[in-house]
Each structure stands twice: as C-alpha cells, then as structure tokens.
Amino acid sequence: MIGVHLRQISSEGLRVEGGEDASFLELDGIEQKATGPVGYSLDAGISGGGVFATGRVWVPMELRCVACLRPFRFMAESDSFAAQVEIDGREFVDFSPFVREELLLALPNHPRCDLNGGLHCSYQRPEGSGGGNRRATKSAWDQLDKFKPER
C-alpha cells in the first residue's frame, strides 16, 4: 500500500518515496501490463481533518499499439498527483486507490507505438482517409530534394 502512518508526519510534513508492486493497479492483460513497480515520491502533510499527499507517481507499462498491434513500452506518469483523505480515527492513511486512479488517467485511450517518438509505427494510413496529408507533403519535399543541383 502507498500510504502514511499519521505518527510519522511531523509539523513539516513527510516525504514518502518508494516502489510498490503494481498488482494493485489491477490492469494486467494482453493489451496493457505493468513491467515494473509503481514508483512514488510524495509530500504528505496534515491539513484540517485530513491527510494530503502531492507529488509524482509513475509505472513502466507495456501497451499494445492500436494500429499495428505491436507491443511497446510506455511510462505512465503524473507530476501532479494530489489527494486528500479524511483521518477519521485511522492511524494509517492509504493513498493507493488515488494513485491507481491517477495512473489509469495517464494511460492513452488509443495507444500507438509512435507515441513517444522513438518508434515508427509500421501501420500506414490508407490514402485519402484524412490526416494523411503530412506524409504526402513530406514525400513532395523528398521529390524536390532530388531536383537540387549537384555540386
């Protein structure tokens, strides 16, 4: 669980960092699976009747490209994690459900292997289906390059 014990939080707050087995994300499947632990670096503190935590959460993932069906690596991360939990008599406050929610939101709805710019998707859009103009423009420039005078 990603959380804090109340007694550990001083008046200056508490930095909690570490890695947590990704099974609590409950998203293992063919289309998407975690390839490592969920990392977190959070600043926790007490505010009013609750405990808040803000910071960064991330998990390395393997997703499947919706276009070419090739699996590819993707880092799901958020630098703006923020959650607040009512203390409600508890000694340990669990932020895991909030981390899970944050990371699920960080996953792309339509994952493509060229998302990170590192890979080139082998799937070619059919001509004239819209959005294919960029490729046409690029090849036009390639053609123009051929007409450059040789030196």
Q: Which residues bind Zn ion (CB under 5 A)?
A: 65, 67-68, 113, 121
Q: Using alpha carbons, select from 132, 109, 112 the residue that is nearest to residue 122.
A: 112
Q: Least distance (Å) from Zn ion to the CB of residue 126?
A: 15
Bridge partners, residue 92, by sequence: 5
Instruction: Compare residues 120 and 151 and give the one whose CB is closer to Zn ion.
Output: 120
Instruction: Compare residues 72 and 98 and give the one whose CB is closer to Zn ion.
Output: 72
Contact 36, 59 (CB under 8 A): yes
Q: Least distance (Å) from Zn ion to the CB of residue 131?
A: 15
d(CA 131, CA 44): 45
Q: Least distance (Å) from Zn ion to the CB of residue 118?
A: 12
Q: Give the distance from CA 52 to its chain's centroid.
A: 21
Instruction: Compare residues 120 and 146 and give the one whose CB is closer to Zn ion.
Output: 120
Instruction: Compare residues 74 and 98 and give the one whose CB is closer to Zn ion.
Output: 74
Q: Least distance (Å) from Zn ion to the CB of residue 127?
A: 18
Contact 52, 81 (CB under 8 A): no
